[in-house]
Structure 1
Amino acid sequence: MSDSLDNVQRQLEAARSGLGGPPLEQWNPRLSGTIDIRILADGSWLHEGTPIRREALVRLFASILRRENDGAYYLVTPVEKWRIAVDLHPLVVEDVEAVMEAGQATLLATCNTGRQVAIDADHPLFTEPAAAGAAVVSLEHGLTALFSRKAWPRLVNLAVDEDGETVIYSAGQRFPLA
C-alpha cells in the first residue's frame, strides 16, 4: 500500500471518535478532487487498480464514505473530500439473522465491514433490478449494502408468502421482495 494511503489511515484513526463512527454529517470540506479508488459490485475495494487487502484500511475508508445529493460517493475527513467510483452499491451484506427485540423479530444484517445493522424503518429493504432483484438495505449517509449470494438465500428463507407476494417482516416493518 502506498505511503499516502498509510498517511490517510493514520490521520483518520486519530480523528475517529470513541463511540460510533466519525461525525460525517458535521464535515463539509471543499472537494479535493478524485482519487483512484473503486468499489466493485462484489464489495472489493481497489486503489489504482490494485485490491486493497488490508481489511482495517477498507473498514476505515468505509467509515468515512458517504453518498451526496449529486449521486456521487466521497471519502470525507474534516479537511478533505475525495470522490471515488462505486460500481453498484458500496457495501455488501454477508449474513442476516433474526433476533427477538421487544417481543418482535428483528433482522440483523452483517456487512462486509463487520458492521451490523437492524433492518427497520430507518434501514429499510428494497430490491435491486441490476442484481437480479436481490435485496439492498439502506444505511446512514446515503449508503446501501447489497445482499451477497450467500446472504440472499438466508433472507429469502426468512420471508413469508402473503397473498402471492413475498415479504419480510423486521422490527414491525413490512418489506416486499418483489
Structure 2
Amino acid sequence: MAGTDNHPEQQEAVNKDLGQILSELEKNSDGQSLPPVEKWNPEFCGDMELIIKRDGSWQYEGSPIGRQRLVKLFSTVLKKEDDKYFLVTPVEKLGIRVEDAPFLVIRMQVKDTAEGPIISFEDNCDNQIVLTKDNPIWVEHDSKTGEPSPYIMVRRNLHALIHRNVFYELVERAEERVIVDQKHLGVMSAGEFFSLGTI
C-alpha cells in the first residue's frame, strides 16, 4: 500500500527520517497548545510506513517507536479526512495506517459533584477527556463474535478505543435506564446518560 502511487518527489518526502518531521513539528509548536492542524492544508506527499496498532503502539517501518515523547508529539498533528489518517505539518501531509482508533484510553477517574458525577479519561498520549455530550462514548459490537469495542471522542473527529479494563470499571458503575421502551445499561457524567448497551 505505502508509496505505490507516489511520484519521485513525493517518495523523497515519504522517505524522510522521522527526525526531520520531528524538527518541523517542534519548530511550529509552542509546547503547550495543540497545533492548528485544521488550518494546515499542504499538498499530499504520499503514504509512509507508519501504523498505529489496536493496542495503542506506534510502529515505523515495522519497528515500535519506543520513545513516548515522539509518539505524543506526532499524535498532536494527526488528522482524519473521511476514513483516512494523516500526519500533517505546515509543509507536508503524509498518510498513515490506523488499525482501529488512533488513541487508547488507559485510565479513568470519577469526580462526584453537587450536580452529579463527572467521568474523565486519560489516553496513551496524555489527552485528558471528560465524558460529555461533546465527547460522547459509544459501543460497537463485532458482527461475528459480538465482542464490544467501546470508544470515546477525543477531539475533532479523532476517537479513542477504551481499554477493556477501563470498560469493566465503567460497567461496574453502570445503572439501568429505560429509553424508548428498551432497557439500557449506562453511566451518568456531566448531567448526561451514556448508554453502554441494551440489556
Show structure 1 runs of 5+ residues with no match: none
In the alignment, is residue 63 of structure 1 matched against residue 82 of structure 2? no
80-89 or 132-141, which deviates more: 132-141
Q: Please identify runs of 4+ aligned residues in structure 1 that moved more than 4 A.
A: none
Equivalent residue for 2:129? 117
97-106 or 157-166, which deviates more: 97-106
| Matched residue SS, 1:139 | strand
Show structure 2 runs of 5+ residues with no match: 1-14
1:1-178 mapped onto 2 (5 Å cutoff): 4-68=17-81, 70-100=82-112, 103-130=115-142, 132-163=147-178, 164-178=183-197
- The aligned amino acid for 2:189 is S
Which whole-Å deviations, capped at 9, do the CAs of 1:59-107 have from their partners, x for residues lacking one? 0111110211x21001011111111000111110001111145733211
Distance 2:120 2:195 in 1: 17
155-164 or 24-33, which deviates more: 155-164
Contact 2:139 2:150 in 1 (8 A): yes
TM-score (norm. length: structure 1): 0.91
| Matched residue SS, 2:59 | strand
Give the superposition deviation at 1:7. Answer: 1.8
Identify the structure with bigger relative contact order (alpha carbons < 8 Å, sequence gap 6+).
1
Contact 1:134 1:152 in 2 (8 A): no
TM-score (norm. length: structure 2): 0.82
Superposition CA RMSD, Å: 1.8
Give the superposition deviation at 1:18. Answer: 4.4
Contact 1:125 1:135 in 2 (8 A): yes
Structure of larger gyration radius = 2
Distance 1:140 1:177 in 2: 20
Distance 1:113 1:77 in 2: 18
Distance 1:108 1:139 in 2: 11
Distance 1:152 1:50 in 2: 29
Identity, in percent, stands at 33
**How many residue pairs are counted as aligned between the two chains?**
176
Distance 1:18 1:42 in 2: 26
